[in-house]
Amino acid sequence: MKPIAPKPMPRRFHQASWDEPVIFELSQPGARGVLVPEVETGIQQEVGDVAAKLPASLRRKTPPALPELSQIHVLRHYARLSQENLGVDLNIDIGQGTCTMKYSPKVNDQLARSHKLADLHPLQDESTVQGILEVAYRLEQFLKEISGMERFSLQPGAGSAAIYANVSMVRAYHASRGEGAQRDEVITTIFSHPSNAACAKVAGYKVITIYPDADGYPDLAALKAAVSERTAALFITNPEDTGIFNAKIQEFVQAVHDVGGLAVYDQANANGILGITRARDAGFDLCHFNLHKTFSTPHGCGGPGAGASGVSPALVPFLPKPTVEFDGEKYYLKDDLPQSVGKTRPWYGVAQNILKAYAWVMSLGADGLREVAEIAVLNNNYLLNKVLEIRGASMPYAKGKRRIEQVRYSWEQLTEETGVHSEEMEIRMVDFGTHYWTSHHPYVVPEPMTLEPTESYSRADLDEYIAILKQVAGEAYTDPEVIRSAPHNSTVHQNHHEPFDNPDEWAVTWRAYQRKTLKQSGK
Amino acid sequence: MSQRGQPIVYPYIPNSVPTAKAEMLKAVNAQSVDEFYADIPDAIRFKGKLNLPEPLLSEAELVRHIEGLLGKNISARERLSFLGAGCWQHHVPAVCDEINSRGEFLTAYAGDPYEDHGRFQALFEYESMMGELLNMDVVNVPNYDGFQAAGTALLMAGRITGRPQALLCGTISADKLSKIRDYVQPHLEVVLLGYEPASGLLSLADLKAKISDQTAAVFFENPSYLGFLETQAAEIAELAHANGALCVVSVDPISLGMVNPPAEYGGDIVCGDIQPLGMHMWYGGGHAGFIASRDEEKFVLEFPSRLFGVTSTRVEGEYGFGDVAYERTSFAVREEGKEWVGTAAALWGITAGVYLALMGPQGMAEIGERIMQRAEYALRKLKQVPGVKVRFDGIHFKEFVVDFNGTGQTVAEIHKKMLEKGIFGGKDLSKEFPELGQCALYAVTEIHSQADLDRLAATLQEALK
């Protein structure tokens, strides 16, 4: 046999494409996927027909029109759908900038599946949950050390929930000082996550958004013009989603403190600065981490994640309740917190992710966390050099400067030269077994692309990703139609988008789809 | 450095290999990683080494350590538990765990409809199956939990009606009420309604007295937090509608094969938590919220959550999926969107879809009825224990309030003795509902056998001696 030809770069990829029906179409009348335990005759004889007790208005007339499938058909359907999905386990997942798509260690998932965690009820006697309380307590100590803050609550369900918990604490703090009504403004920056603005609005605040200066740094002069006795807080990310570290961050904090406001640090982008710089050292009053980003817990197709809200001493009384405490012998939940903002979610947090984050820190230690940060930043700076070699790509702002852990690039030049847009290239990337994300809206950076390579990828991974980007950018110049008609090697082809925004056509459920399409086809 | 003085190669960090790291630095023309941090002022550079425990570098050591910690827990599987109160021990079918453990789903995030077609289809199917359970055409991609779902459902009602007040059933849990108050306070005044002392049902007299043209929503739970079914549901909805308010109902989805969904008695927005549908309890980590409504533009445009919809593609015969009415979200328009959206609990949505597909119409009808039978049996057995009563004389789904006031002992004392016998008693209500005195909320599900329930009654009788 002749030697088999080496692998091309980029690789020849095709996504699984099972042409899978919607599950209702797989229904076979009478089939069962799992059975429910029969009630014993002793119970039957004792209680009789309980259904007869229900008043007519509360008795369901016809069973729900769910599909009927044997177990293997349910399994096969969902196994096929899973193959039509790309997680970190499968792709070089550096294209989902701001989301820190790092490796989620399998051992941590496996440990969390123990019935000693999965089957714990949150109201069990404290003597029966000492293990998980100890884990939560110890993780809090780690986060305190990593951020310099005084206390943490691990209760928020994810990052935006932690932002909301923080804005709620800001509101309670000012109210406790009689300044609740006066301080009705929250300031944020356009390169901070949109939830900073949106959560503040829900909490009743007017939102002021600061745009970057010419170099891409948050504009200090604009902040100074915006702060006043009406300022409740500044909610800011650093480094921002551009990967640029705001060197004047202490001045930002000071400007807010000078008018009696609080400084709140969205640490969604903490991966590049673990052990390098800390929230409290820059003067922040509150911060939050996303345990599903920086601390490796899996993203779960969009949750459950886990959020951790940290506070300075002045804000401790307002933390969500309960807190987890240790009296030297046993761990316990403390509920007696009269100034607390109360509950942010049921119980105490996403316990399985608290365990996974704890295990991740324990597997790395202080040196390991620093290695995470340094390699994440090294990978990013390697990647950006390579991206900037691609025709049509640029990195707006702060010319000649390095970046921290991610970059928001621009394809503006490519678009000007070819007419191809970043959102079109994004779809073409899928044909090579990966993807990228443009940016949050509004697109302040024109034709954006946000890449965050984290510590989880090797040089070969980064080179492969670059080869794909180069291929797609090259096609924009040589064969734009192949981009515009993409995807070609995905599960499906381009959607017709109009129905999504047309109330007569949109269908959020199969029943709505059937009703609307049958109506349209005149049946 | 390792103990032998070699640089540590971290298995999760490919470029921690010293030669790889050196080559990378060379490739970017940097002497050291410090150059990348040039923008960070010296004043806020952390100089020392973080004070963290020595790492457990090998997987074997890590497993041993974590298992040691988890070993201090005693799970509800190792004992007989009657705890509920918003988090329940239902059976989790193996296929649910199998699907949500698959790396393709577990480690994906927010890709677009082309590389993540599977996630979009699975969540569309979840919405669709919930739609059948609820008899409603619009169901969201899950938000965090039932508390959040209730808070958002109320804010939606406020925006739809333009009114500033919500009336809530008085038997709501303290925790859920805390979350709702915190969440809606700038937008809605929360007013609690009284309940009938004998039945626990919502006081219609109090509702009639308090409802007005300021009322955005009348909110109740069915079954209630305290376990009984709100049999006046249709009358409450009618009163709400007669006053121009919306009827918002929180339900336990596992009851709905048996109990009528709110759409059939006048519910306009329905919300709740899907933890019973295939999620373990996870010490409170198994929650995800749902919100459902009719397919009317004025409702749909007020959802803050993602709504995945179906469409055609360029190829005949293909289903495509994507975001419906995306411009309403904070992802699209920041603070101008409806509330906010972020990472919530999508994996649990996929899992609940698997659960509903496994159960089918027959399974959901059976589980609803059989849970009710088991709960009724438990209630009757406990009533026979001297000194023990059951509060609220209505129809119960899976939970009921056990009244220990006649025993001369506190719930805490009784439960301590039961714990020694291997039973986790229900939630102690004495702090949350002081007006009930020494009462506890007991939960019974399909996992409890007749022998378990007989054992509960016998152990309780023993504990009260």
Chain A residues inside the 8 Å CB shell of B348: 303-304
Neighbours of A229 (CB within 10 A): 11
Q: Under an 8 A CB cutoff, do A492 and B99 touch?
A: no
For A192-201, A482-491, B3-12, B310-319, which range has the lowest pLDDT when averaged over its residues? B3-12
pLDDT greater than 70 at residue B136 = yes
Query: Using the beta-carbon criterion (under 8 Å), do B284 and A281 form an inter-chain contact?
Result: no
Contacts of A39 in chain B (CB under 8 A): 370, 373-374, 450
In chain B, pLDDT over 70 holds for what percent of residues? 99
pLDDT of residue B151: 98
Between these two residues, A519 and A256, which has the higher pLDDT value?
Answer: A256
B215's tokens = 């009322």
Q: How far apart are CA B158 and CA B185, in angstroms?
A: 12
What is the chain A residue with the closest CA to B122? A81
Give contacts of B318 with chain A, Cβ < 8 Å.
19, 492-493
User: What residues of chain A lie within 8 A of the CB of B344, using their CB?
Assistant: 157-158, 302-304
Asked whether the beta carbons of B406 and B147 are under 8 A apart, the reply is no
Nearest neighbour of B55 by CB, restricted to A60, A363, A487: A363
A403/A142 Cα distance (integer angstroms): 27
A204 neighbourhood in chain B, CB within 8 Å = 185-187
Judged by CB atoms closer than 8 Å, whether chains meet at B343 and A202 is answered as: no
pLDDT by residue (tens digit) across B199-208? 999 999 999 9
**Closest partner CB to A500 (pick from B16, B322, B450):** B322
Report all structural domains of chain B as residue ranges with CATH numbers, in order of start: 14-70 (no CATH), 81-90+362-463 (3.90.1150.10), 94-356 (3.40.640.10)
Nearest-CA residue of chain A relative to B333? A441
- Of all residues in chain A, the one with the smallest CA distance to B294 is A512
Q: How far is A282 from chain B (nearest CA, A)?
A: 6
Give the best residue of B36, B256, B423 to mutate against chain A (max A CB count within 10 A).
Answer: B36
Residue B185 phi, psi (nearest 5): -55, -35
User: Which pLDDT score is estimated for B415?
Assistant: 98
Is B128 in Cβ contact with A24 (below 8 Å)? yes
Among the partner-chain residues B56, B108, B365, the one whose CB lies closest to the CB of A85 is: B108
Q: Is the pLDDT of residue A523 over 60?
A: no
Q: How far is CA A449 from the centre of its chain?
A: 17
B465 Cα distance to chain centroid: 38
* Amino acid occupying residue A44: Q
From the centroid of its chain, how far is CA A206?
A: 25
Mutate to test the interface with B, among A25, A50, A369 (most CBs of B within 10 A): A50
A304 chain-B contacts, CB cut-off 8 A: 285, 288, 344-345, 347-348
Chain A residues inside the 8 Å CB shell of B337: 194, 198
Q: Which of B146, B322, B342 sits opposite A195 (nearest CB)?
A: B342
Q: Which of A23, A67, A121 sits opposite B81 (nearest CB)?
A: A121
Residue B141 Cα, gap to closest chain A Cα (Å): 10
Rounded mean pLDDT, A267-284:
97
Interchain pair B35, A342: CB under 8 A: no
In this complex, the residue of B75, B222, B310 whose CB is nearest that of residue A115 is: B75
User: Residue A520 has what pLDDT?
Assistant: 72
Using alpha carbons, select from A267, A271, A315 the residue that is nearest to residue A288: A267
Query: Is the pLDDT confidence value at B1 over 70?
Result: no
Domains by residue range for chain A, with CATH: 111-362 (3.40.640.10), 367-484 (3.90.1150.10), 493-523 (no CATH)
Is residue B3 predicted with pLDDT exceeding 80?
A: no
Interchain CB distance below 8 Å, A404 and B324: no
User: Which of A277, A455, A457 lies closest to B40 in CB terms?
Assistant: A277
Residue B94 DSSP SS3: helix
Query: pLDDT tens digits for B391-410?
Result: 998 999 999 999 999 999 99
Query: Residues of B with CB below 8 A from A44's CB?
Result: 373
The per-residue pLDDT of chain A, averaged, comes to 97
Could A375 and B138 be called an inter-chain contact, meaning their C-beta atoms sit closer than 8 Å?
no
The dihedrals phi and psi of A296, each to the nearest 5 degrees, come to: 75, 0
Helices and strands (H and E) in chain B: how many = 14, 15
Contact by Cβ (8 Å): B440, B419 = no
Judge: B182–A499 Cβ closer than 8 Å, yes or no: no
- Taking 60 as the threshold, does the pLDDT of residue A45 lie above it? yes
- φ, ψ of residue B463 in degrees (nearest 5): -65, -25
Annotate A492-503 with DSSP letters as a single string: S-PBP-GGGG-T
Contacts of A192 (CB under 8 A, 6+ apart): A235, A236, A237, A240, A241, A266
A411 DSSP assignment: -
pLDDT at A518: 80
Nearest to B358 among A34, A435, A509 (CB): A34
**Structure-block tokens of residue A476:** 């924009």
**Residue A509 and residue B138: Cβ atoms within 8 Å?**
yes
B324 contacts A506? CB cut-off 8 A: yes
Could you tell me which residues come within 8 angstroms of residue A215 by beta carbon, excluding any fewer than 6 positions away? A397, A398, A399
SS3 assignment, position B284: helix
Determine whether the interchain pair A122/B283 forms a contact, defined as Cβ–Cβ distance below 8 Å.
yes
Nearest to A435 among B46, B111, B315 (CB): B111
Decide if B363 and A145 are in contact by the 8 Å CB cutoff: no
Task: State what percent of residues in chain A have pLDDT above 90.
Answer: 97
CA nearest neighbour of A188 among A231, A236, A143, A246: A236
Q: What is the dihedral of CA A379, A384, A386, A392, to 10 degrees?
A: 160
What digits encode the pLDDT tens for the residues B246-284?
A: 999 999 999 999 999 999 999 999 999 999 999 999 999
Q: Do B284 and A364 touch (CB under 8 A)?
A: no
**Region A488-495: what's the mean pLDDT?**
97
What are the DSSP calls for A359-409, one per residue? HHHHHHHHHHHHHHHHHHHHHHHHHHHHHTTSTT-B--SSTT---SS-EEE
- The answer to whether the Cβ–Cβ distance between A371 and B75 falls below 8 Å is no
Nearest by CB to residue B105, choosing from A85, A367, A497, is A85
Q: Which residue of B has its CA nearest to A454?
A: B13
* B-chain residues near A322 (CB < 8 A): none
ipTM of the complex: 0.98
Write the pLDDT tens digit of every residue in A277-323: 999 999 999 999 999 999 999 999 999 999 999 999 999 999 999 99
Q: Is the pLDDT of residue A78 over 80?
A: yes
Three-class DSSP category at B246: strand
pLDDT band of A522, cuts 50, 70, 90: low
Q: Which of A18, A25, A36, A504 to mutate to test the interface with B (most CBs of B within 10 A)?
A: A36
Closest CA in chain B for residue A143 = B52
Q: Do A59 and B259 touch (CB under 8 A)?
A: yes
Q: Three-state SS for A426?
A: helix
